[in-house]
Structure 1
Amino acid sequence: MFDMMKMMGKVKEVQEKMKEAQLALSQIEVQGESGAGLVKATVNGQKKVIKVDIDDSLVNTADKDIVQDLIVAAINKAMEEADVLAKEHMQKETQGIMPNIPGFDLGNMFNG
């Protein structure tokens, strides 16, 4: 027979494991580069840009730190907005298919 309490316990367990996995992703760092290393970007496993490094030959060195910080902020802001829109889209598309269980967010499963 179907045991609702047992299922809710499993749901809570899955949520906790998902939180642990998300935290672990924040510790992963990957660097990409373009222009033969003139521009480098460091991203964590949660797809957040941590750092952008631009070679001095490409920008006025007095403005370099500000430009790099502004680039990081703009990219992360755009990615956060994309995440919000993706969650809204998934909720709309799965409405009526997935049960609405308070506190159970499947959005993290779809966003990597």
Structure 2
Amino acid sequence: MFDKLFEVQQKAGEVKKRLDAITVTGSVEGGKISVTATGNKIIQSITIDADFYKDADKEEIEELLVTAINKAMEQADNVSQSEMAAITKDMLGGMGSMFGK
């Protein structure tokens, strides 16, 4: 049983490494503001189109930036859930042997 727990910890570490290598992007206004993050929800970059930046007011940029960040975080959640679902399925499949199945 401890072997299975250790295996779960190892798999979780592998998932974290995979999520670190996956990038997701949230963008608004046709890409005028883009936020790139990892699957582990670490923001890597924020880009704002120079022409848009000149013409937009502070409040508009702030609101759109929040929206872009939320979109990136939502995508990171989706990727993370998919990765965790895959590892859970693998682990549950292997647990059948613990119960003689």
If asked which structure has higher relative contact order (CA below 8 Å, sep 6+), I would say: 2
User: Where is the helix percentage greater, Structure 1 or Structure 2?
Assistant: 2
